[in-house]
Structure formats: structure tokens, C-alpha cells
Amino acid sequence: MIHQCAVIAYGFRYYYMPGLKHILSTFTLIPHRHRCSYLPSPSLVSLSSSFHLPNPDNLSRFLTGNLTGNCPFFKMERSWSGSGVNKNKAMVEHLQHYGVITSKKVSEVMETIDRACFVPDGTPPYVDSPMAIGYNATISAPHMHATCLQLLEENLKPGMHALDIGSGTGYLTACFALMVGPQGRAVGVEHIPELVVSSIQNIEKSAAAPLLKEGSLSVHVGDGRKGWPEFAPYDAIHVGAAAPEIPQALIDQLKPGGRMVIPVGNIFQDLKVVDKNQDGSLSIWSETSVRYVPLTSRDAQLRGW
């Protein structure tokens, strides 16, 4: 059985075999619901001459997913990209193999929406890593998309309304649209106009194109912190950037019985799951530790925060 751990590294989650358990003994355990997440100890320097982890001076590079050296996690990552993972279906099968995807519905949707339609030209689309898309923005790694889709699956049934904040290249918005179907509504909100234009072009090349044409899928220019009231309330809300706190506008636009998935924090971030109860009260829990770009204004993002 494959054990699962999350390493804070720009939204990466790594899945390791039991044989690697001793390596993780130097990480600090932070309990989370369903999964165990590990953060590097502040005093961590290295384990051996062949396996180096970041010292405190390099911690910021580690947190942004730029760890180098002979780390077995990254060896696993490189083996994915160098061993025939060149098709969308194969990418999904790898995520299933490593225990990332357990839902049949999520695997079907991710196989149907080809990630290659949503990454910049010249970028390897099927590597399990976030990719820069310009304007100081990224498209999340496939395992993070899978994680969020599974967390929201019960709130993405046919006929439901879904909101994708920081929709970027449009990938997850297209997945939402496929899940809620033509009787539902999938809405993407992105504050970079150029990304909205290109995301619509991406969707037009994907299996979600008919839903875009029919109008049940739409992408809008706007400040995601304010949500998109026009089609509220939403059964599902996904936020693709880290907020210092959960925006009240998004809570207000979440339907009773609905669920929001949002990374919260600054340097240290948790992927929060927010359930709105029928009486309007909230149940909030942390799924795992993550690292996302900040949820901020358009000008701040373009300046590099």
C-alpha cells in the first residue's frame, strides 16, 4: 500500500513508498484530516552525502518547489516525465497508481479534458508539476487538480453551480463544466484579461467546447476576492490562489450545503475545506499543507506581489 505525504513545495504533493519512510523521519509531522503532512524541520540540513534537503538559508527555494539535488521525490517526478507519460490518459493512470485519484468520476473527467489544451506551447503538459502561464500566474500540478476535484465531487453533480476563482488557463473550470453538465453552471473568474481570452480559446479546443457555446460554461474578468454574484449561490467554489483569510464575499456566495476549497495563509498555507451548513454556519478543516501564489489584486500580481 502506498503511503501519502504532502511536502510544502508550491502545491506539490509527493507519494512515497514504504521504503522511503526513514527519509521522512526528519520532517515535522503536522496532523491533518485524512492525510499526514510533513514540513521540513528548521534545523534540517542533510541526511547523507547522497540526499540533501534544504538548510534554513534555502528554505524559501524549497517552499517554491525549486529543491534540487538527489531527492527521491524529485527522482520519482523525473521518472514520470521520462518514462512515457506523454498522453493524458497515462497521466491520469499514474495519479491513480500513486493513490492520488480514487474517484472514478474524477478520473473520467481528467481523461476527457486534455491538459495539453491548457498549458503554454512548448510546456510538457503531463508532468505532475505546476507550470508558469505568464503574468506571475501558474497552472497547478495535476495532482492538486485531482485533489480539489475529489474534495468537491459531491458538490459538482449535474445541475449544480460551480465557481472557479483564479481560473487561469481554464482547465479546472472546464472540468467543473463537464461534471455539472449543461443543466448546471460553471463560472471562471480571472483578473488578468489576457488569460481570460486565452482560457476561452483553450476551452474551445477541449471537450468542454459545446458547454461554452451553449452558455453553461463562462469565464469572466473580475476580482476573484469578490466572487461572481450573478450566478450565486454556488454549490462548489474553488480558489486557485492563497488568501490571508477566507473572503467574506465567497462565504456569502456559497450555498447552504455547499463546499469551498481554498488555500489560506501566507508563507505557510493550508488547503482549507469550508462546508456551509443548512443553518448558514461553517465547518472548516485543513486537508493538507500547500504552497500557492497569493490571491491579490491584478496590479500587485503583475508587480510580482
Q: Please tell me the distance from the alpha carbon of residue 87 to that of residue 91, in angstroms, as a whole number.
A: 6
Active site residue 140: yes
Q: Please tell me the distance from the alpha carbon of residue 77 to that of residue 80, in angstroms, as a whole number.
A: 5
Three-state secondary structure call for residue 144: helix
Under 8 Å between Cβ of 258 and 240 = no
Q: Please tell me the distance from the alpha carbon of residue 11 to that of residue 262, in angstroms, as a whole number.
A: 12
CA separation, residue 15 to residues 60, 119, 274 (Å): 22, 24, 25
Count Cβ neighbours within 10 Å for each residue of 94-119 and write b for 16 or more, e otherwise: bbbebebbeeeebbebbbbbbbbbbb
Q: Provide CB contacts within 8 A for 49, sequence distance 6+.
A: none
Rg of the chain taking only CA atoms, in angstroms: 19
| Residues 265, 157, 191, 111, CA torsion sign | positive
- Active-site pick, 37, 107, 140, 206: 140
| Sequential DSSP letters for 20-37 | GTTGGGGEEEEE-SSSEE
Q: Please tell me the distance from the alpha carbon of residue 32 to that of residue 20, in angstroms, as a whole number.
A: 20
Q: Which helix (H) or strand (E) holds 214?
A: helix 209-214
Three-state secondary structure call for residue 158: coil
Active-site amino acid positions: 140
